[in-house]
Amino acid sequence: MAQSPFQLFQQARLIDPTTGLDEVGDLLVEDGAIAARAPHLDPPPGAEVRDCRGLVIGPGLVDLYSQSGEPGFESRETLASLAAAATAGGFSRLALLPTTQPAIDNAAQLTQQRSFQLQPRQSGQSGQAQLYFWGALTQGAEGQHMGALWELAEAGAVGFCDGRPIENLALVRRLLEYGGQRSLPIALWARDRRLAGQGVAREGPLALQLGLPGDPELSETAALASLIECVRATGTPTHAMRLSTARGVELLGQAKAAGIPITASVSWMHLLFSNRDLDHYDPHLRLDPPIGTPRDQAALIEATRTGLIDAIAIDHSPHSYEEKTVAFGVAPPGAIGLEFAFPLLWQRFVAPGLWPALTLWERLSRFPAHYLHQSAPSLAIAQSEWLLFDPQATWPASPAHLKSLSANSPFVGSKIRGSILQLHVSDRRF
């Protein structure tokens, strides 16, 4: 007997930030696409019926930027392992930074990366995360000379971003003027490496107490103020990535209030940690920009709740065991997060009632899709990009359990509460 194409999910909590939906109801799916939604539905003949009381159904998640190891560092992460990790974490779309080796700064390199998406699915597979690729703003993503923006746009880049600071303001201005003509997203990291120096922790009394070189907030805020002025002068909509300081939040708020077309994102790790968590010198908390003070953390959380900060980025950055098993001060910055971020953010902010569930989904799905000039995943009829989440299920964050090839995370070795039970990914490109 042929398997029924229908699945009926009964009495799930249905969440959709595109319409403001947050209510308990039934969802009928036919061949992965949403066929009906109502407080109560009768199952079609032969339909698979699932009791979803206590479970959550929402649109697939979208990540603005993360890092692949392929090409150049395949032992850290391949495109296949990255897609598998994203799928396991509920991400149906993932935009990857161009800082591979070689960098994605030309059409040939971009075409090679995009060919991964054309590989056939395995039999019975409900889809894997769709990968998109940022094209480098500068040659080699080195911040010195303008890249082949027109060529990258024609080859299908999702937008332009180096993933590294560009400190030459004259070049930043030219990039905004020229890149803005293609009407593709442009993302820049406001950071002054000269002011940061060799700092690995946010400058202040705690860094001194821990004996760690300090990185002043000025390394972000001076660069952010300059970036805002460049955006004001050119009028090119720009995204400020990796915001990490309370003062940076203030500058962002002032810019938005003045009508300057700038948006911003914060790394999920900067919402969960402050520099008070560095007392064990865990190299997995060595991030760039460094984790902020409790005041920074509180400002970032509040700005994310209100929407002043538009999106939460995972900024998944894989490193090998050998690379990270060193002293804090010499560890390479970055941590993985695709498989942990959503359940941990849910437990930290949604479960205790600090944020509405819609807010978390807005920051991790609707706005990232909007900024990438894509239609947002939703629970609308005929849509087929949704996930099923159990907020109470626990699973072991062991290297053997992870889909990522790397395990550089402070959460590895712990139990994670909250599990993605199912993710369906649309076949269509956005």
Hey, what amino acid is at 229? E
- Rounded CA gap, 8 and 381, in Å? 14
Torsion of CA 270, 276, 279, 282, to 10 degrees: -10
- Rounded CA gap, 260 and 139, in Å? 28
Active site (catalytic) residues: 315
- Rounded CA gap, 180 and 203, in Å? 35
Which residue is listed with tokens 């002068």? 233
Task: Show the DSSP H helices in 166-309 as ranges.
Answer: 169-179, 193-196, 205-210, 218-234, 246-257, 268-272, 294-306
In angstroms and rounded to an integer, the radius of gyration of the C-alpha atoms of the chain is: 21
Residue 326, helix vs strand vs coil: coil
| Lookup: tokens for 424 | 């369906």
- Per the CB < 8 A criterion, the answer to whether 57 and 26 are in contact is no
Other Cβ atoms closer than 10 A to 297 = 22
